[in-house]
Amino acid sequence: METAPTSIPPRPRAALVFGVANDHSLAWFIARALAAEGVRVGLSYGDERLERRVRPLAESIDSPLVIRCDVSNEAALAETFAAADTALGPRLDMLVHSVAFATREDLTSPFSETSRNGFGRALDVSAYSLLALVRHAGPRLGPGSSVLTLTYLGAERVVSGYKVMGPAKAALESCVRGLAEELGPRGVRVNAVSAGPVRTLAAAGVPGFRTLLDGHAERAPLRRNVTGEEVAAAACFLLSDRASAVTGEILHVDGGYNILGV
Ligand code: NAP
């Protein structure tokens, strides 16, 4: 008697997304889009006051993990990845870093008056944390895994009001290239989306954000602002096998704003 060929169902892909504060967060748009593609998505948030906002979002996408993690705290990172092992399994197909921080004082003072501590904190939370996430993820990232972070034009050009976040994002973009070179031989890709301005909690902390948003819509080649969904679509592309030959890339999703000169 012939037996039917057995086929092993494909393992659902697993993603861990850092930086969900609320339903406006770019991390949330990305998490929701990944979940819609059948990815099992674990969510991490930074501040305990946000839990009541994040839990219902997690439930709406059947997220198997919702965990608070301060990305500047090594013990919290270790706990988060241990929890991910239980909730998502031992392999991470996708790791999303959507985290940034600068003190209000440093965002409102003249750039040259950025405090030494504030500069260090902004670079630690906004840039170094990408290295920390990858280090803690360790062998959970294997051939075909993909890491993604979010950056902004202020890394490359002077954007008035972006202050210390400019050097923080420049460092982040440099980390993307360094990690892409290091992890490439393991088959792990590392990329960034450089998003145009989108109204979120973090964006609200940038002085003059409203003016930035209006100016962008007026001058960008597409003559409009970008949406969270559009940022997420590009992020999902970079995270997916469709971008299997893309690494170390900073993909601008900004309606073309970055190409403009005078
Ligand atoms: P958001 O919703 O406020 O997300 C920023 C996230 O960073 C929050 O969830 C915040 O959590 C988290 N965070 C800050 N410090 C943290 C820490 N120590 N540990 C863990 N998490 C921490 O704003 P967003 O605009 O979506 O920002 C996401 C990323 O996109 C950032 O890297 C931002 O620079 C980038 N980006 C945004 C825009 C834009 O216009 N919105 C454009 C380009 C790039 P807590 O609030 O709980 O601390």
CB 34 within 8 A of CB 16: no
Half-sphere exposure of 158 (CA within 13 A, CB side): 2
Ranges of each domain in the chain: 14-253
For each of the chain's 262 residues, which pLDDT tens digit applies? 555 566 777 789 999 999 999 999 999 999 999 999 999 999 999 988 878 899 999 999 999 999 999 999 999 999 999 999 999 999 999 999 999 999 999 999 999 999 999 999 999 999 999 999 999 999 999 999 999 999 999 999 999 899 999 999 999 999 999 999 999 999 999 999 999 999 999 999 888 999 999 999 999 999 999 999 999 999 999 999 999 999 999 999 999 999 999 8
Answer yes or no: are the C-beta atoms of 147 and 158 closer than 8 Å: no
In angstroms, what is the span from residue 1 Cα to ligand 1's centroid? Answer: 60
The CATH number of the structural domain formed by 14-253 is 3.40.50.720
**Ligand 1: residue whose CA is nearest its atom 7:** 99
Question: Within 6 Å (CB) of ligand 1, which residues are found?
Answer: 19-21, 25-27, 45-47, 50, 69-72, 98-101, 125, 150-152, 195, 197-198, 200-203
Active site residues: 152, 162
Q: Model pTM?
A: 0.96
From ligand 1's centre to the CA of 225, what distance in Å?
Answer: 19
**25 CA to centre of ligand 1 in angstroms:** 7
